[in-house]
Amino acid sequence: MTVAPPQTSSPPLRIGDVARIVGTTPRTIRYYEEIGLLPDTQATRPPGQHRLYSEAEIERLREIIRLKRLTGVTLDELKTLIEAEEARATIRRELDDTEDPGRRRELLKRAVGHLDRQLELVDRRARELAGLQEELQARRRRVLTRLRELDKASV
C-alpha cells in the first residue's frame, strides 16, 4: 500500500548545504537537535552516519532561525512556539486524512491560534523597531537642519 502522492521531491541535502541555505552553521543545527528543538536524527540514523534533510525540513528550519533572529526569543521560548508549529504540521496531515467537518474546524482554529501567538511577538517587535527608527530619523533631521542654518549664515 504505497499511497504517497506523486511529488517531485528534490534529493535530501547534507548539514553543510542546509546551514548555508538557511544562513547558519552546522554546529547550530546539531545543537538545536541536541536540545530537542529539531527532531532527533540519532534515532533514525546509525551513529556516525550523515544527517540528511528534506525540502520540508529545511523550510521549517529556516522559519525557526528567522523567528529567533528577528524576535530574540530564547531557545526555550522558541521551543514552545515551535511545538505549536510542529502541531501545525501534525494538524495538516490529520486534516488531509479526516473528513469530519467538526474535527477539521477545530484543527484549523488551533492553527490560527498558533499563528496569532507568533504574530503577536513579531508585531510588538515591529512597533518597537519603528519607534527607534523614527527617533533616529528625527535626530538626523535636526542635525541636517543645523547644517543648513550654518550654510545660510556663512553666505
Positions touching a second copy (CB under 8 A) are 66-67, 69-70, 72, 101, 104-105, 108-109, 111-112, 115-116, 118-119, 122-123, 125-126, 128-130, 132-133, 136-137, 139-140, 143-144, 146-147, 150, 153-154
What sign does the CA torsion over 81, 85, 86, 87 have?
positive
Find which of a second copy, DNA, none residue 4 binds, CB within 5 to 8 Å per kind.
Answer: none
Q: How far is CA 52 from the centre of its chain?
A: 20
Residue 79 cell numbers, joined: 521551543
The nearer residue to DNA, 32 or 85, going by C-beta atoms, is: 32
With binding defined as CB under 7 A, does residue 15 bind DNA? yes
For cell 519607534, what's the residue?
Answer: 131
Q: Report the C-alpha gap between 19 and 26 in whole angstroms.
A: 6
Residue 125 cell numbers, joined: 517587535
Which residues make up the interface to DNA (CB under 7 A)?
14-17, 25-28, 30-32, 35, 42, 47-51, 68, 74-76
